[in-house]
Amino acid sequence: MSNNWLSQAGRKHYHRRVRNLFFAIFALLLWLPLKAAEDWKGTASATYHASSTLHEWTGQARSSPFVAAVELKDGAPARLRTKVEFPVSGIGSENEKRDANMRAAMKAAEHPLVTGVFDAELPAAFLAGEETELPVDVTLLGRTHRLKCKATRWRSAGGEASFDVEFPISLEAVGIDIPSFLLLVRVHDAVLVRTHVTLSSR
């Protein structure tokens, strides 16, 4: 009777230790990804290329400073999550009248920001310097559009990183309507956007 009781007590003790070990491992697995993520400071500068029936032009925009959550694997970036905001008031092509028409078409008073949300793993080929395709959610005029961007020129050293993204935007698809001038000069639908992103862990 005594041996049987000790055997039952031993089994309960063993099961308790196994259960505690399981919860400890589970908690560690939850903690590790958080431990591997770092907040890096970021800036972005964009150039857009547009054209009309009369001529072509380029414009620039600069983002507000932002913070990117960078998940590391073996000490190197493996995933990037961030939200980048571009004030519409800062988008321009150094042509006052054209820029005023552009901001009116983008309804800057109602929608003062253009935002891009990036949340994706960084493929090994991209980190090795190869071109890759990555998703970005762009919000214009209060509507979000999932776009596929061409990501290139990844550079990383000493806690600093940079890369470029490029994607076309259809003005009609995002709801930007720029009226023609005297029914003769019409802005073409496709606008190419190139953005340079710089990140720093310091």
DSSP 8-state secondary structure symbol assigned to residue 64: P
Nearest to 53 by CA among 173, 178, 174, 172: 178
pLDDT at 19: 64
Distance CA 2, CA 87 (A): 78
pLDDT at 35: 45
pLDDT at 13: 58
pLDDT at 144: 97
- The pTM score is 0.78
pLDDT at 23: 53
* The Cα angle at residue 15 between residues 9 and 19, in degrees rounded to 5: 145
* CATH number for region 37-200: 2.40.128.110
Distance CA 18, CA 135 (A): 43
Calculated CA dihedral for residues 195, 110, 177, 179, nearest 10 degrees: -110
pLDDT at 123: 93
Tens digit of each residue's pLDDT, the chain (202 residues): 555 544 665 556 555 665 666 555 544 444 444 446 899 999 999 999 999 888 899 999 999 999 999 998 887 889 999 999 999 999 999 999 889 989 999 999 999 999 999 999 999 999 999 999 999 999 999 999 999 999 999 999 888 999 999 999 999 999 998 777 644 578 899 999 999 999 999 8
pLDDT at 6: 46
Q: What are phi and psi of 83, to 5 degrees?
A: -130, 125
**Domain locations in the chain as residue ranges:** 37-200
Residue showing tokens 């007590």: 9
Distance CA 150, CA 112 (A): 26
